[in-house]
Amino acid sequence: MQIGKTGISEAERAHRRERGLCFYCAGADHFRLQCPQRPRGSRGESGKSGQKTSNTQVIGSLYASFVDDEKKKTRILLPISLTWEGVHLETEAFLDSGASGNFMDRCFAANHLLPLVLKERPLMVEAIDGKPLSCPHITHDTIDVCMTTGVLHCETIRFQVIDSPSCPVVLGFPWLTEHNPVIDWAQRDIMCWGPSCQSKCLGRVNVIGSLNIATAPPLSTEVPECYMALKEVFSKTRTEVLPPHRPYDCAIELLPGTMPPRGHVYPLSQRENDIMEEYIRENLERGFIRRSSSPAGAGFFFVSKKEGDLRPCIDYRGLNRITIRNAYPIPLITELFDRLKGARIYTKLDLRGAYNLVRVKKGDEWKTAFNTRSGHYEYLVMPFGLCNAPAVFQDLINDTLRDFLQTFVIVYLDDILIYSPDKETHHAHVRQVLKRLLRAGLYCKLEKCLFDIETV
């Protein structure tokens, strides 16, 4: 008797679907279409008319599993944001280990005017259980889009376009294999990411929306002579003291009836534990954090920077889910660069410790509490990872430089670009900006600033 030739029970079908097993033989290294135990001529082989080709894509359990509400409850729907050509939107992605690719619904793409690219040759498509679909061919891909998952995970991805009215985006087996996330099945959420994400995806967070310099001139090590009178704005020590409360303090307003969750303590390597202890000690001394008795408590972990260093991160996903969103707009990068027409010389300023220059609103500090092996702490300054942190900081920097914006300054969060038609005018513009920053208690990171460059 051939394995899989007869029908399988619903329970067994669900078991194989959840684990990405073949529907024919229960093998783990292939899908039903490529099953070596299927009779010759029914597998995905090229040849006679009417046979499936090796270019067949499997949609997965989407069509079989979104039939009733009870089955919907067993699926993982991941909140994501998508960005392309100045468009930004938020939606959900269905994690489906039975899908052989990453897919987007045709109507969803059309409604949001997402540009599509015609495939060189169409692909056949069928459901994981072999049932035919209303549209059996994939003819288009999307253009590359930036997809952000949670607060930290960011990547460039391209989707194949299908008819998928039940869910706008499907992330399939290739995506799960590439990122290898650890999934909490009880909470239906991703707890942490695979090793490759530490440098490829998590390390890109601060780069995705930044003002990227096309050339790579030497970074500054000394304050240019023409700005020496304002060298205090490049001070490092001034950013290591607790800033005052201001109208731009970061408020954390919760949805009615909710309470921030208490997360678990993440396991750390010896190196990570040593760096964590140093981080706690330094920030206690600066007054940026304090010991806490809060009922809340997020997890503490590290992500790798591009240079190989480790950056501490707090897992505020639970807090962010119940936080009322700040609707202050973040500028569109493409629109910002449209302002540069006619400019010939540029200076890029990078703010030092940007979020740490903003206080958490008095009375909201307990909501930022985090757990470590050495104790329970909460922030007095705005930490990285809060969903409203970008909006709060954009509001602050826009108000600080408001009368310069779109005239000779564009700003994206902690990146400031000053542009001018000639050098003499440019130096005057830069001095105006530096004076304004100093007056507002905002300081620049000299080693990341670029002065008098000719290309961006």
pLDDT at 360 over 80: yes
Selection from 64-68, 119-123, 302-306, 444-448 with the highest mean pLDDT: 444-448
- Give residue 366's pLDDT: 97
pLDDT at 53 over 50: no
Q: Sign of torsion, CA 11 16 19 20?
A: negative
Lowest mean pLDDT segment, chosen from 195-204, 369-378, 424-433, 445-454:
195-204
Per-residue pLDDT tens digits for 19-41: 666 767 777 655 565 566 665 54
- Give residue 1's pLDDT: 29
Contact predicate 223/349, CB 8 Å: no
The string of DSSP letters for 349-418 reads EEBTTGGGGSBBPTT-GGGG-EEETTEEEEESBPPTT-TTHHHHHHHHHHHHTGGGBTTTEEEETTEEEE
Per-residue pLDDT tens digits for 57-67: 655 555 444 44
pLDDT at 266 over 50: yes
| Residue position matching structure tokens 């070596």 | 36
Q: Sign of torsion, CA 60 45 159 106?
A: negative
Selection from 34-38, 277-281, 316-320, 351-355 with the highest mean pLDDT: 277-281
- Of all residues in the chain, what percent carry a pLDDT higher than 90? 37
Task: Work out the average pLDDT over 109-126.
Answer: 83
Task: Work out the average pLDDT over 62-90.
Answer: 66
Which domains does the chain show, CATH number per domain? Answer: 1-42 (no CATH), 64-204 (2.40.70.10), 225-453 (3.10.10.10)
- Give residue 4's pLDDT: 37
293 by Cβ neighbours in 10 Å (0-12 / 13-18 / 19+) ranks as exposed
Task: Work out the average pLDDT over 305-318.
Answer: 78
Task: Provide the token pair at 196.
Answer: 């490759």
Q: Model's pTM, two decimal places?
A: 0.57
- Give residue 55's pLDDT: 56
- Give residue 208's pLDDT: 31
pLDDT at 74 over 70: no
pLDDT at 170 over 60: yes
User: 367: pLDDT confidence band, cut at 50, 70 and 90?
Assistant: very high
Task: Provide the token pair at 395.
Answer: 């509001």
Mean pLDDT of the chain: 80
Task: Provide the token pair at 61.
Answer: 């359990």
User: 9: pLDDT confidence band, cut at 50, 70 and 90?
Assistant: confident
pLDDT at 50 over 60: no
pLDDT at 317 over 50: yes
- Which among 65, 57, 153, 159 is positioned nearest to 106, based on CA atoms? 159
- Give residue 120's pLDDT: 83
pLDDT at 47 over 90: no
Task: For 344-376, give one letter per residue: b (16+ CB within 10 A) or e.
Answer: ebbbbbbbbbbbbbbbbbeebbbbbbbbbeeee
User: 45: pLDDT confidence band, cut at 50, 70 and 90?
Assistant: very low
Please state whether 404 falls in left (phi above 0), alpha (psi between -120 and 50) or beta: alpha
pLDDT at 204 over 50: no
Task: Work out the average pLDDT over 338-350.
Answer: 86
Task: Provide the token pair at 410.
Answer: 């564009």
Measure the CA–CA gap between 60 and 38, rounded to whole angstroms: 18
Per-residue pLDDT tens digits for 211-263: 444 444 555 568 899 999 999 999 988 888 999 999 999 999 999 999 998 88
pLDDT at 107 over 90: no
